[in-house]
Structure 1
Amino acid sequence: MTSTASTVERAFRAALYDDTDTGLDTGASLLAADPGADAELVRRGEEFVAAAWRRGWQPADVVRLVRRELEEAHVHLAAALIRAQAGRDRPRGRRWAGQLAALPTGPDRATDRATDRFSHATTVLELYRLLLRLPALEPLDDEPRRALGPAASRMLTRIRALLAKAEATGYPEEAEALSAKAQELMARHSVDEALLAAEAPAPDAPGACRIGVEPPYEQAKAVLLDAVATANHCRAVWNEPLGFSTVVGFEADLEAVELLYTSLLVQATHAMTRAEAAQRAGGRKRTKTFRQSFLAAYAHRVGDRLAAAAETQVTQDLLPVLATRAIAVTGRLETMFPQTTTTRLRGVSDAAGWDEGARAADRAQVRARPRLE
């Protein structure tokens, strides 16, 4: 064992397998005193990242957890390790590439001269502690079984643009028209993909993706995501401790869930901010309970609206195709999650918040999709 590798091993023994501050300080001191160990330290970090992939994690999952548990410096360090490891990784799919492209950028150790060696070593060891303890997750396919073609990609780009405009405009009528058009394109996109898959020589198969459910009020957000997933022929399972839901479905429907959930969450946040300002102007100060009840009502009411829309969107001739796909989605879900429980809303105690949230949900741009023919 070389002297630099020995330094890293001794630092790891002191800091990674000991949760105390004393062990962390000891390990950081060893690394700070040996600049020759820096390259070995980075190499070992890339090994931790590769091990995370083998345990079912993906780049966005790691970044999300690091941001939730540690500080921004750790996030940038994790992103740098993920990028470095990607250069030696095997080819992965489109979603994976998108997550790599979305990694946060920021100062690394080579350019951040203001960070002393001891502080940097402490940050590294804190990150490695977290990576070392990552639990195994249900594995996701790196790529859907049948990748979306150029026409589908152009359609999704158009849908994203319409929803972005709907969220940004200050005119309700314009937002309604833009969102309605996006819904129409989503419905057509979904059924076109279903019919293409049914006619393909090799049968299509459902995939899965993870969508972050960020605090605060993550329970209501998870219920909203579940409602969106169900309305789009998908199923969602919430992992509360790790802050995400796994959505199972066919690729076109997974894309629709991600887009619609994000758009509804933006609309809910804007509506909640306006309603809260009006409440506070009237002398109310219970902001937390108001927000929690608002989002709970919003999720509940939007779920009802989406369910009602889903009941009327399918014609009889499409039922066999969609029923076959529903069975496939349920089978994939049960394979990944043999045991699941139902999420129920808790802590809803503010009547004004509930009423305002329900009204906001009624105003949200969730028109029934046109009938699929």
Structure 2
Amino acid sequence: MPRPPARIYDPWVSKPSTVDRAFEAALYDTEHTTLDTGASLLASDPGADAELDRRGQEFVAAAWRRGWQPADVVRLVRRELEDAHIRLLAALIRAQVPNDRPRGPRWQAQLDDLPTGTPPRTDRFSHATTVLELYRLLLKLPALEPLDEAADPVGGPARPESRMLTRIRALLAKAEATGFPEEAEALSAKAQELMARHSIDEALLASRTPDARNAPGACRIGVEPPYEQAKAVLLDAVATANHCRAVWNEPFAFSTVVGFEADLEVVELLHTSLLVQAQTAMTRAEAAQRAGGRKRTKTFRQSFLAAYAHRIGTRLTAAARTPVTEDLLPVLASREVAVTARLDRMFPETTTTRLRGVTDEAGWVEGAEAADRAQMAPRRPLR
């Protein structure tokens, strides 16, 4: 665990603050770490509250310098700690914003999605314990690959969502909500067709208006338990079919997707929609299995989602092979080279992993059939 530089305190000049002594007891002393001692010190000194909040904001800023983003930290805290810690973290992030540098639209969207409401205040000892538990987690965050999202120009208008993207979003929402598989198929197919057109339109526009900012970017998409391997495979398939690349970080439950902004947007939309559709189909399949007197378990669900991801990947890959006109080939090729170069810079070393836990034949069959029902119609030739 990182430890701050040693401080020498002259008893005639200064002495450690309550917060310093609490941190020394609860955060930095790995051999005799005790939260109770640190929490007792903080609980007994209300005058230390302001410094404690300020130090928390410093921990948040340090996480940003190490490549973390708000959604990443919230995701980790949700998995490792409790709701009280999440609300405390959200309050610290918001308090740190005025001292932060300008960020891009994805960052702002993550700030907007932070949990609302104030952290529950119980007794001072319990609150101090919550604070120290959160700070201990923030302190040990490792460095991540920086995403380097560009901020909008100062005073410039935010880029409005295109009408095409609005239509795609609406179609996928309807596909998720309908109870009729045939309707969901038609809606998903139409959404995929619009995604292809949207990507090409953006590529052509960028090629005609060169801009230094028109370069591949990256975003992180949560890939959380349960069945995270199958979800990561699904995201990889969606990313590849839409001119992006995905790298899964299993320990921290996310994948980093690299690509041009227009493609990143549709990858997020389609992946989220397919997960919702897969969950709905899996629930329906499990109900049918139970009605037939067959008890299904975790292996059924793991196999179901693995088959779903595999089948979707196969069909999306086939759709991506649709020929394009010759004038588009140089544009698409140059973008693919740029995406690969960005990926290699961010992740010079990657490994592959095998999908585990796929042992239920009925789950595999049901998952493959569900993927067919969520079919993506073959893309028509792009012009």
State the TM-score, normalizing by the size of structure 1: 0.94
1:122-143 Cα shifts (integer Å, max 9, x gaps): 0100000000000000000223
Aligned ranges for residues 1-373 of structure 1 at < 5 Å?
Answer: 6-18=17-29, 23-108=34-119, 112-113=120-121, 115-143=122-150, 150=159, 152-203=161-212, 204-312=214-322, 314-373=324-383
Distance 2:191 2:306 in 1: 25
Question: Which consecutive segments of 4 or more residues in structure 1 shift more than 3 A?
Answer: 1-5, 18-22, 144-154
Contact 1:4 1:36 in 2 (8 A): no
Distance 2:160 2:116 in 1: 31
Distance 1:331 1:148 in 2: 30
User: Offset of 1:185 from its aligned partner?
Assistant: 1.9
Distance 1:160 1:107 in 2: 32
Question: Cα gap change, 1:154/1:16 in structure 2, threshold over 3 Å: closer, same or farther?
Answer: farther
Contact 1:60 1:99 in 2 (8 A): yes
Kindly report the root-mean-square deviation, in angstroms, between the aligned alpha carbons of the 2 structures: 2.2
Contact 1:297 1:358 in 2 (8 A): yes
Question: Cα gap change, 1:86/1:308 in structure 2, threshold over 3 Å: closer, same or farther?
Answer: same
1:125-177 Cα shifts (integer Å, max 9, x gaps): 00000000000000002238999985653332332122111101112233233
Distance 1:149 1:74 in 2: 32
User: Offset of 1:338 from its aligned partner?
Assistant: 0.4
User: Offset of 1:310 from its aligned partner?
Assistant: 0.3
Distance 1:247 1:277 in 2: 34
Contact 1:223 1:343 in 2 (8 A): no
Contact 1:145 1:207 in 2 (8 A): no
Single out whichever of 64-73 and 10-19 deviates more from structure 2.
10-19
User: Offset of 1:315 from its aligned partner?
Assistant: 2.7
Contact 2:103 2:152 in 1 (8 A): no
User: Offset of 1:292 from its aligned partner?
Assistant: 0.5
Q: Match of 2:335, as an amino acid?
A: R
User: Offset of 1:372 from its aligned partner?
Assistant: 1.4
Question: Cα gap change, 1:31/1:302 in structure 2, threshold over 3 Å: closer, same or farther?
Answer: same
Distance 1:150 1:368 in 2: 31
Distance 2:57 2:319 in 1: 47
Describe the SS at the equivalent of 1:210. Answer: strand
User: Offset of 1:20 from its aligned partner?
Assistant: 7.7
Distance 2:270 2:73 in 1: 24
User: Offset of 1:200 from its aligned partner?
Assistant: 1.5
Contact 1:95 1:143 in 2 (8 A): no
Distance 1:31 1:215 in 2: 35
Q: Match of 2:206, as an amino acid?
A: A
1:335-364 Cα shifts (integer Å, max 9, x gaps): 000011223211211011111111111111
1:51-82 Cα shifts (integer Å, max 9, x gaps): 00000000000101110111111111111111
Distance 1:215 1:123 in 2: 24
Distance 2:353 2:323 in 1: 27
User: Offset of 1:21 from its aligned partner?
Assistant: 8.8
Single out whichever of 135-144 and 80-89 deviates more from structure 2.
135-144
1:95-137 Cα shifts (integer Å, max 9, x gaps): 00000001111332xxx34x11111100100000000000000
Partner of 2:4: none
Single out whichever of 1-10 and 262-271 deviates more from structure 2.
1-10
Describe the SS at the equivalent of 1:245. Answer: strand
